[in-house]
């Protein structure tokens, strides 16, 4: 194969990596480069350095080391039977690109993944070597996210965790059976075992109070995974149940949902359609309800029809519309967890309400200043000068609260 120039490689290998939705650069240890030989810092909150016209942020240089791959996953642009242009970076090229971009303040760090070449161990060794050079040769203190090759030797996973802030292995499809059909060379059991191993390592790395010596660091930003939505016919309730099992089992920081997107040279197994962006959005909302609002997957399921989330209204509102007997809630007395269940009240608004009501009894107008949209909240609460009366039980409440546009248009095309 003819040698292609570095910019062409970058184009090919960025294009090949862009279907992974994960871009976070937050949640790792706080550190900076003062007193060091190199550059880089992480200060808790991640930073999005640019946004592309798809509305997604660029936080990390997200690339593959190579898009050659020995697997044939139908949903993937890099599958072995795809006609896509192939390229491969050298380890040093990735190191140099990362530093060149970082110095110009384009990125927070590197997200490196790869097609599997030769075998899992060989591929993982290459990924780890990039991270090692950045950390050890260049004293780079920015963010590094490494993709785990689940088949790789546990020793390599340990090394990866030593250099990387975050590790991730993608579970890809909510149903094991679908993985068998669409990704015949991938084994869901191997992926889950790799995630289980990472969780055990993460727990080992947490220092016990009585430990004098801190155990060696392991992926301080934890692990995440991705589920592809809309490729295998799994309903939303099944996806949420899978997510809940993943959060519970592997201590994941995040589950990413990626609407299956048409790719150039797509497989005949998965006829191309436009990606279900609104469905993806609702799944993210449901995921937030599970992580920050103490909803369980079955509770969110109460607001679904045939296992699918309502595309026209958000999942909390969909749930509340079917649980009207739980409302209205008194903003001046209700407990935090009860307020969190009020449609239109986010975590911040609830915390503000709790802070203010220590000093004042809230009127509707006060609540209006603490939240984004009082219209959305009004039917569900009582305040000093407000009671919703029959509004909570109004037959047309859903229609009043749903955005005026039709769900079809909301697919954002």
Partner 1 sequence: MRTAVLSDPLDFDGWRKAARRLRLAGVEPDRVKFVVGASLGGLFDVDAALPEVEGAFTAPRAFLDMAAQLIQHRSEDRFELMYRLLWRLKDQPNLMAVLSDRDVAEAADRVKAVRRAAHKMKAFVRFRQAQDEAGERWVAWFEPAHRVLQATAPFFARRFSAMRWSILTPDGAAHWDGTLLTFGPPADQSQAPAEDAVEDFWRTYYASTFNPARLRPQAMRSEMPKRYWKNLPEAGLIPELTAAASVRTDAMVNQPAPTPNDRFQRVRAPVVDRAATDDLIADSLDELARGVQGCHRCPLWRDTTQGVCGEGPRRAALMVVGEQPGDQEDLAGRPFVGPAGRLLDAAFEEAGLDRRDLYLTNAVKHFKHEPRGKRRLHKTPNAGEVEACRWWLDHERSLVKPRLILALGATAGLAVLGRKPAVQTERSRVLTTEDGARVLLTVHPSYLLRLPDPALRAEERSRFLADLTVARHAL
Tell me how many helices (H) and strands (E) the chain has: 15, 10
Interface with partner 1, residue 326, by CB under 8 A = no
Kindly identify the residues of this chain, within the stretch 367-386, that bind partner 1 according to CB under 8 A. 367, 369-370
Would you give the DSSP letter of residue 60? E
Please identify which residue in 91, 245, 384, 391 interacts with partner 1, judged by CB under 8 A.
245
Interface with partner 1, residue 34, by CB under 8 A = yes
Half-sphere exposure of 307 (CA within 13 A, CB side): 9
CA angle centred on 198, ends 196 and 202, rounded to 5°: 120
* Distance in angstroms (rounded) separating the CA atoms of residues 170 and 225: 5
Q: What is the dihedral of CA 84, 85, 86, 87, to 10 degrees?
A: -140
Please identify which residue in 22, 26, 40, 388 interacts with partner 1, judged by CB under 8 A.
40
Q: Which stretch binds partner 1 (CB under 8 A): 58-66, 128-136, 209-217, 374-382?
A: 58-66
Nearest to 77 by CA among 124, 123, 146, 17: 17
Please identify which residue in 154, 196, 216, 389 interacts with partner 1, judged by CB under 8 A.
196
Interface with partner 1, residue 294, by CB under 8 A = yes
Q: Which stretch binds partner 1 (CB under 8 A): 302-310, 337-345, 358-366, 400-408?
A: 358-366
Interface with partner 1, residue 248, by CB under 8 A = yes
Interface with partner 1, residue 3, by CB under 8 A = no
x/- mask, partner 1, residues 99-118, rule CB under 8 A, reads -xx-xxxx---------x--
Kindly identify the residues of this chain, within the stretch 255-274, that bind partner 1 according to CB under 8 A. 259, 261-268, 272-274
Nearest approach in angstroms of CB 286 to partner 1 is 14
Interface with partner 1, residue 62, by CB under 8 A = yes
Q: Which is nearer to partner 1, 348 or 406 (CB)?
A: 348
Ramachandran assignment for 76, one of left (phi > 0), alpha (psi -120 to 50 degrees), beta (any other)? beta
DSSP labels for 250-312? H--SEEEEEE----TT--TTS------HHHHHHHHHHHHHHHHS---HHHHHTT-BTTB--SS
């Amino acid at each position: 194969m003819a040698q292609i120039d570095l910019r062409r490689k970058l184009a090919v290998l960025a294009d090949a990596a862009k279907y992974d939705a994960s871009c976070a650069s937050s949640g790792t240890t706080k550190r900076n480069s003062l007193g060091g030989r190199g550059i880089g810092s992480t200060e808790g909150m991640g930073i999005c350095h640019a946004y592309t016209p798809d509305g997604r942020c660029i936080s990390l240089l997200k690339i593959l080391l190579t898009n050659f791959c020995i697997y044939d996953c139908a949903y993937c642009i890099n599958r072995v039977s795809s006609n896509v242009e192939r390229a491969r970076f050298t380890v040093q090229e990735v190191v140099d690109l990362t530093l060149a971009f970082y110095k110009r303040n384009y990125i927070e760090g590197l997200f490196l993944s790869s097609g599997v070449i030769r075998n899992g161990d060989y591929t993982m060794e290459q990924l780890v070597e990039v991270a090692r050079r950045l950390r050890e040769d260049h004293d780079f203190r920015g963010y590094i996210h490494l993709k785990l090759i689940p088949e790789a030797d546990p020793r390599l996973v340990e090394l990866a965790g030593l250099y990387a802030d975050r590790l991730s292995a993608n579970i890809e499809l909510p149903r094991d059976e679908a993985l068998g059909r669409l990704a015949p060379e991938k084994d869901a059991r191997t992926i889950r075992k790799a995630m289980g191993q990472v969780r055990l390592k993460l727990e080992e790395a947490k220092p016990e109070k009585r430990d004098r010596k801190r155990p060696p660091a392991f992926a301080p930003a934890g692990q995440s995974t991705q589920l592809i939505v809309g490729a295998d016919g799994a309903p939303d309730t099944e996806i949420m149940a899978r997510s809940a099992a993943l959060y519970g089992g592997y201590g994941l920081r995040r589950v990413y949902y990626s609407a299956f997107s048409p790719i150039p040279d797509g497989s005949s197994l998965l006829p191309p359609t436009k990606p279900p962006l609104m469905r993806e959005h609702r799944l993210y909302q449901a995921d937030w309800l599970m992580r920050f609002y103490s909803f369980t997957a079955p509770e969110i399921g109460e607001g679904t029809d045939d296992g699918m989330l309502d595309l026209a209204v958000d999942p909390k509102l969909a749930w509340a519309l079917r649980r009207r007997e739980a409302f209205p809630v008194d903003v001046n007395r209700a407990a935090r967890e009860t307020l969190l269940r009020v449609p239109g009240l986010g975590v911040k608004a609830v915390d503000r309400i709790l802070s203010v009501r220590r000093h004042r009894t809230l009127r509707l107008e006060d609540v209006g200043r603490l939240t984004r949209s009082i219209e959305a909240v009004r039917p569900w609460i009582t305040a000093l000068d407000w009671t919703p009366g029959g509004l909570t039980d109004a037959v047309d409440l859903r229609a009043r609260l749903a955005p005026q546009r039709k769900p079809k248009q909301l697919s954002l095309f």
